[in-house]
Amino acid sequence: MVLGRLTIVVVALVSGAAMLRGSGVQVLLLAGMGSAVVVVVQRLVEASRRRHARGRRSTAVIEFCDALSAELRAGLPPVVAIERAVVVWPSWAPVVTAARLGGDVPGALRAAGEDSGAGGLSAVAAAWEVAERSGAALADVLDQIAVGLRSDDEARAEVVAALAPPRATAKMLAALPIFGLGLGYSMDADPLDFLLHTTVGLGCLGAGVGLALIGLWWVERLADAVER
């Protein structure tokens, strides 16, 4: 997120300086490039937030299974047990409402399981249905579901760890040109003047920004597909 904010600030400063000195065409080109950078950075930040939210929901499902199993083993009625277990994720309150009113608890669980990372609730819903119809013990099944979900989470964590270096490399490569500007000034050159006020420079800037954004988007899309 820090890199994202830094990128947006740099783009805004460079674009603003160029707009004060540039022609209409330059202003349009730079505004377009700046907008593209901001959009891509925002989407990367949003994707990161979604990943974290997905991980939190997945952990909450496991905790929910453990808590519900423990409450049932303690002899509590299913309605009370599920009410206490849902504390781990308050947004699943509709499940408690369905249980209190004698409604469709499996349906409420499946609806909650539609959120990214909460898919394990579908297994809980199926187990609840079987327990309702057959009178089978639900606690043992919940324990097995939790074991399976933990195994999935561990595998997913390994995938995330393996994808961290490629993600970091892509972001570093996208940011390197910014440091290249500083290197140019340290050699008594004026890279911004070339990039912003010559046709060739604008072409190089546009191509560089475009390729950097495509690279970031491509790496993120590949990584997200693997994580899912």
Q: What is the mean pLDDT of the chain?
A: 84
Predicted TM-score of the model (pTM): 0.74
Which one of 118-122, 171-175, 181-185 scores highest in mean pLDDT?
118-122
Q: Which of 68-82, 112-126, 190-204 has the lowest mean pLDDT?
A: 190-204
Residue 28: the pLDDT is 75
Residue 2: the pLDDT is 45
Structure confidence at residue 74 as a pLDDT band (50, 70, 90): very high
Instruction: Using alpha carbons, select from 223, 203, 222 the residue that is nearest to residue 211.
Output: 203
Instruction: Check if the beta carbon of residue 151 is closer than 8 Å to that of residue 88.
Output: no
Residue located via tokens 């290249």: 180
pLDDT above 90: residue 6: no
DSSP alpha helix (H) spans, the chain: 2-21, 24-73, 78-85, 93-100, 105-112, 120-134, 138-186, 191-197, 199-227
Residue 142: the pLDDT is 94
- Average pLDDT for residues 57-82, to the nearest whole number? 92
pLDDT above 90: residue 174: no
Q: How far apart are CA 197 and CA 179, in angstroms?
A: 20
Residue 25: the pLDDT is 67
Question: How many alpha carbons lie under 13 Å from residue 100 in its C-beta half-sphere?
Answer: 8
Q: How far apart are CA 186 and CA 169, in angstroms?
A: 25
Instruction: Check if the beta carbon of residue 74 is closer than 8 Å to that of residue 57.
Output: no
Q: How big is the chain by its Cα radius of gyration, in Å?
A: 26
Q: Is 116 helix (H, G, I), strand (E, B) or coil?
A: coil
User: Could you read off the pLDDT of 9-60 as tens digits, one per residue?
Assistant: 444 545 554 444 555 667 777 778 888 888 888 888 898 898 899 999 999 9
pLDDT above 90: residue 124: yes
**Cα end-to-end distance, the chain, whole Å:** 22
pLDDT above 50: residue 1: no
